Amino acid sequence: MKWQSTCLALALVATFAIAGCGQDNSRHENDNISATSTPVRTNTPTPIVTSVPPTLTPASPGGTGPTPTPSGTVCESDHMTLTITSAAGSDLSTGWTGISHHKPAIEQTQVTVNLDCTGNDCVVDGAALKGQNFGSPLPLAAGGVAVCVLNTFREGVTGTYNCASGCGESATQLTSAVFQSQVLEKPCPLCVGDATPNDGVKGGTCDSGTGKGAACDVGGISPDFGSTSNDCLPSGSDIGKLTIDITPLTTGTVTQTASLTCGSSRFGNTCFCPGQDRPDACIAPSPEGTCPASGICDDPVDGNCSTQTFRVCDLGTGTEQCDQAFPGSGECQVFSRPCFSDTISRTGQCGTQNGTLVGFFCIPATTAPAINTVSGLPGPGVVSLPVSSVRRPR
């Protein structure tokens, strides 16, 4: 039979689009970027996916509402809500330069799908999502560049879910429209004053953008930049549209080995994605382009403000280019550059009430050569998403 599930397990794939926007110790706030209306595609090589044993975990205390359905019962007459958190274990790493690795996930994005279930085994039917918004605008900033990303489903969502074990996976295909922001600390317009996200009540007000002053309902919360809403859209025209495919997003293990020839002939290493120029930004240890076992390059290192790490600064300047110029941004500190080894592997966790979803994907190039260079696009991305879930009677 069919039932509906609010399936946040799919959320955050939106961030794959341009999470690598940044710069390599130089500023590009005034890059001349041309617009395009044709989505740019980079095909993602098929990762190896293995299952992991289910772990049945207790729900978080303090919840309200109907009593959750006990684990092991059939799925009929249930709703299921999964919420992606930004707690420990949340991780988004995109592009080969390492500038935008290990970023937190955005919270409270919601997606509703139908499930066709036989006993505990369900087939995801998300055909109705095609052309729909995927969450609220996504604010991103790194290395002195800020963008706001609007995501839509290019195709319907498909997948499987088992309501007894909490194991599942989905295939999600997005088109992500990218808008460049001139305000580094506020990549997207914010919805201010709305107390409860996604409740259908427009209790807030858009602080800027095309809907400035309009009523809004928060659709997602960025740990770094605040609450956004589809009622509060960015001004101007997009600077590019990217296609992002994550197949699958899974509670199992995803493993991807670099097997493609890199675009630059200087590197004998292999790369993960079509068109990827080099495996990483490491210039030490030798040979160049080799990621150490630690996953951290010995060189280069970056200067970023300590509490607003999206701001770049010159090492040795203390608070001059950080807190003195932008109160609350801290002092200039050394940040080591992360890198991907030649095999990327992430392991999720099944769970009827708490679990983790993981996935690998390729990110195509934007229409801005400067952004591609500093971000490492085309390039790989990985995601780990802790989720909490509750099944309730309909």
Q: How many CB atoms lie within 10 A of CB 241?
A: 22
pLDDT of residue 111: 76
> pTM of this prediction?
0.79
CA distance 281 to 263: 14
> How confident is the model over 259-295, as pLDDT tens digits?
999 988 777 779 999 999 999 999 877 678 889 999 9
> How confident is the model over 286-331, as pLDDT tens digits?
678 889 999 999 999 999 999 999 999 999 999 999 999 999 999 9
User: Closest Cα partner for 212 from 227, 231, 239?
Assistant: 231
